[in-house]
Amino acid sequence: MTEDKIANADESGYALVNDLNMYYEIHGTGKPLVLFHGALSATDTSFGKLLPSLARTRQVIVIEQAHGHTAGAGRPLTIKQMADDTVSLLRQLNIENADFFGYSLGAGIALYIAIRYPDLVRKLVVASVTYNNSGFRPGLLAGMEKLKPENLAGTPWQEEYASIAPNPEDWPTLVEKVKQLDLHIPDLPAEGGQSIKAPTLVIVGDSDIVLPEHAVEMFRLLGGVPEDIDSIPYSQLAVLPGTAHVTLMEHSDWLLSMIGRFLDSTVPDMK
């Protein structure tokens, strides 16, 4: 946990979605903002430095599935299934429209929701995400094939899982499922990205596992090209200096200023 600890949730609990238990917390009041954690992570390791500040002005909804407080699903993990399950949960919570902020795997889920359920998404923030496998740093996927649970022993993600998961002994199973998910992520066709109607903020670290030039391509694909020199781009791009994948979410001052300004701004409809 960080010094600015996450306050007790205004509401938290489990919901049965498609025969799967999903965990959620609701913090604060205001416009809904849904947060999606990264792979092998959960709420604290992904958003511990951000959530308290975000919840001061918004109703923040954090969701965990097959990670964190939830038991692992018996089925394989796919972004499509996780996105569909998330939408089912949000409907149970009577969330009709919200902003979405996803990190890594969570950003992939948020992208899929924006494509498949456009009426649900007002604005979109995606941090460290690709729309095809060519966007990863060379050699990353080859290294992922060799990943073993013992390689992650003592990491913040393993320790978080051990402290909150209902079955901590399932950590090796989760690692294998995430590994298979990462190795078989389907490419997002260009027309899929171009169909996203929500204004989008793309965030990447300059030393991320996602190549900065790929983030630029995504930015353009999502409407981040002004019509003339005086117009405001439909979407925005932020490249954080001196930032790797695992350190991106630690830059709370940068992220909060960028995300808050983006979510609060009025963006012209350019699509």
Domain ranges of the chain: 11-262
Secondary structure string (H, E, C) spanning 6-29: CCCCCEEEEEEECCEEEEEEEECC
Write out the E strands in the chain. 11-17, 20-27, 32-36, 59-64, 98-103, 121-127, 200-207, 236-244
pLDDT level of residue 233 (50, 70, 90 thresholds): low
Topology of domain 11-262, per CATH?
Rossmann fold (3.40.50)
Q: Which residues contact 217 (CB under 8 A, 6 or more apart)?
A: 135
Q: Which residues contact 32 (CB under 8 A, 6 or more apart)?
A: 58, 59, 60, 61, 95, 97, 98, 99
pLDDT level of residue 141 (50, 70, 90 thresholds): confident
**pLDDT at residue 149 tops 90:** yes
**Mean pLDDT along residues 91-109:** 95
% of the chain exceeding 90 in pLDDT: 66
Instruction: Read off the pLDDT of residues 176-217 as tens digits, 9 standing for 90 and up.
Output: 999 998 888 877 766 666 788 899 999 999 999 999 999 999
pLDDT reported for residue 206: 97
**pLDDT at residue 22 tops 60:** yes
pLDDT reported for residue 190: 63
- The pLDDT mean for the chain works out to 88
**Phi/psi of residue 152, nearest 5 degrees:** -105, 5
- pTM for this predicted structure: 0.91
Q: At what angle do helices 171-183 and 156-164 cross, to 10 degrees?
A: 130
**pLDDT at residue 142 tops 60:** yes
Report residue 153 as tokens: 């022993």
**Phi/psi of residue 61, nearest 5 degrees:** -115, 115
Strand 20-27, strand 11-17: pairing: antiparallel
pLDDT reported for residue 47: 97
